[in-house]
Amino acid sequence: MENQEQQDRSKTLITDPKQINAAEGKAKVIEWEDFEHELARLWSLTSALKEANEKKQSLQEKLQSFIQVKTESLNQLNELEEMRERLEARKLVIGNMSMRCKLATEDAKKQEEMLSTEVRSLLVAGTSLSVARKRLQESNRLLTEERGYIKLQNVQRKLRARQQYMISQVSLLYPVKILVGPAQEQELESYPSSSRLGNYSVSKPINQGSLTILGLHLTMLPFTKMSFFTDKKEVQRSATALGYVAHGVSLIASYLQVPLRYPVHLGGSRSYINDYAPSAEPTSSDLSWNTALSVNVKPVEFPLFLEGQDTTKAAYAVFLLNKDIEQLLNFVSGKSLGPRHVLENLKELLRTVQSSEYIDT
């Protein structure tokens, strides 16, 4: 078998020049009777090689086409992946927008409900305002007529007469008199008074003494010169007299419907008066005060008695009480006699209200 293969190899025709040159020293001699056979074999080999080359070319073309298709497929896959990522991003944006839209819708519904409530309230208020306006127009129409104006004047006169009567009862409850003798008192009818034109005249009794309220003197001496030897009974009488004054002023203010600037906390001879003014010595935190804070200032109580209290606070309490009396005097067009004349101002207030001029004003 090996000898046959060697013979076949020896019979192979060498056509390549390089191989011919390389094999010049090994040239093979083919017999004529074998030449046709060898030629046929070479021809078949050539045909097979050509067919193989054609198949190879066809395969190369198919492979190139497949590679191109594969490349296009990969490009399309990359594009699809990018589109998918964009789609996911769009979905996320749309989801966020949907959530915001939902929240905005809920907020809009709430605002719509609030607006509908406010509209209903405005409609009700508008109806009430319309009714009140009609009543006001009717009242103005009635007042513009002569009978309406006269009726209003009569009502005002009756109201002032009623106030005058009630305050006269206060005058009887806490009479303010002047002591002209050791044990003799009289009404102070000729004490300084005011006229409607604003002219003031002073008429003093011949033997002027000191004013009393319900028989008690009100002296400012214990409030300024308090010592160990001060008469405790005199201090107690002054505190009781201040309690009478505070009660009388509260009653008069309520009858005149005047809110006192310094409200009184009644307690007899242990009464207090409130001051809503801020402290005169602000701290570092008080430097940033504003209007809203000043409205919420807590009141400070000052005692209208001296026993066990600071003389300065007690004197300031008497000052505030006199300010309340001056406020009522200004309301009834009266004239104050000064910050140290508590009973005098109270007497002037009672006299002004009980005068006939008060009803006609």
- Residue spans per domain, the chain: 88-129, 149-178+209-278+298-359
- In which element (H, E) is residue 216 found? strand 216-217
Place of tokens 């140290």: 340
d(CA 361, CA 347): 20
Taking Cα atoms as reference points, which of 322, 199, 321, 334 lies closest to residue 256? Answer: 334
d(CA 236, CA 233): 5
* Per-residue model confidence (pLDDT) at position 109: 92
Q: By mean pLDDT, which of 33-37, 127-131, 241-245 is the weakest? A: 33-37
pLDDT digits (tens, 9 = 90+) for 232-256: 787 788 888 899 999 999 999 999 9
Mean of pLDDT values over 200-205: 40
* Per-residue model confidence (pLDDT) at position 212: 83
Give the residue, 154 or 307, on which the prediction is more confident: 154
* Per-residue model confidence (pLDDT) at position 101: 92
d(CA 163, CA 183): 33
* Per-residue model confidence (pLDDT) at position 183: 45
* Per-residue model confidence (pLDDT) at position 192: 38
- pTM for the full model? 0.51
d(CA 361, CA 333): 9
* Per-residue model confidence (pLDDT) at position 38: 80
**Architecture category of domain 149-178+209-278+298-359 in CATH:** Orthogonal Bundle (1.10)
Q: Are 168 and 354 in contact (CB under 8 A)?
A: yes
Q: Are 299 and 276 in contact (CB under 8 A)?
A: yes
